[in-house]
Amino acid sequence: MGLFFGPSAKTKAEAERARRSCATKSTALHQCVHINGVSACARLASDFDFCRASRVSACEKAADAFDKCTKKNINWTGLPEDAPSCERELKMMRKCLRRNKA
């Protein structure tokens, strides 16, 4: 039903829940961008997107994949240039958020 008539009520409710739950991260990101520019706030932007994706049921798998990758990156003991970048997981998570209008 949501495919033809816009987002379903569940998606709208999840998007609203994600907006409320991640409001402080949103404010911090906007302030960071305003003061430092977009490129300086990339990690804060990915943290904000993770916050939203983890609260939208359609994006939970993408959020989990991103979370696992970042934990692997944090605990990486090999060469720094071989550490996982998590760009692929981040792109999938953001694509899911756009698709679900969250």
| pTM for the structure as a whole | 0.83
Query: Within a domain: residue 1?
Result: no
- Residue 13 is predicted with a pLDDT of 84
On average, the pLDDT of the chain sits at 88
Domain count, the chain: 1
Query: Within a domain: residue 24?
Result: yes
Query: Within a domain: residue 3?
Result: no
* Length of the chain counted residue by residue: 102
Per mean pLDDT, which range of 14-23, 49-58, 87-96 is the poorest?
Answer: 14-23
Query: Within a domain: residue 60?
Result: yes
Query: Within a domain: residue 87?
Result: yes
Instruction: Give the domain range for residue 31.
Output: 8-99
Encoding tokens for residue 45? 């932007």
- Residue 22 is predicted with a pLDDT of 95
Secondary structure of residue 83 in the 3-state scheme: coil
Of the candidates 37, 41, 59, which has an alpha carbon nearest to the alpha carbon of residue 50? 59
- Segment 25-62, tens digit of pLDDT: 999 999 999 999 999 999 999 999 999 999 999 999 99
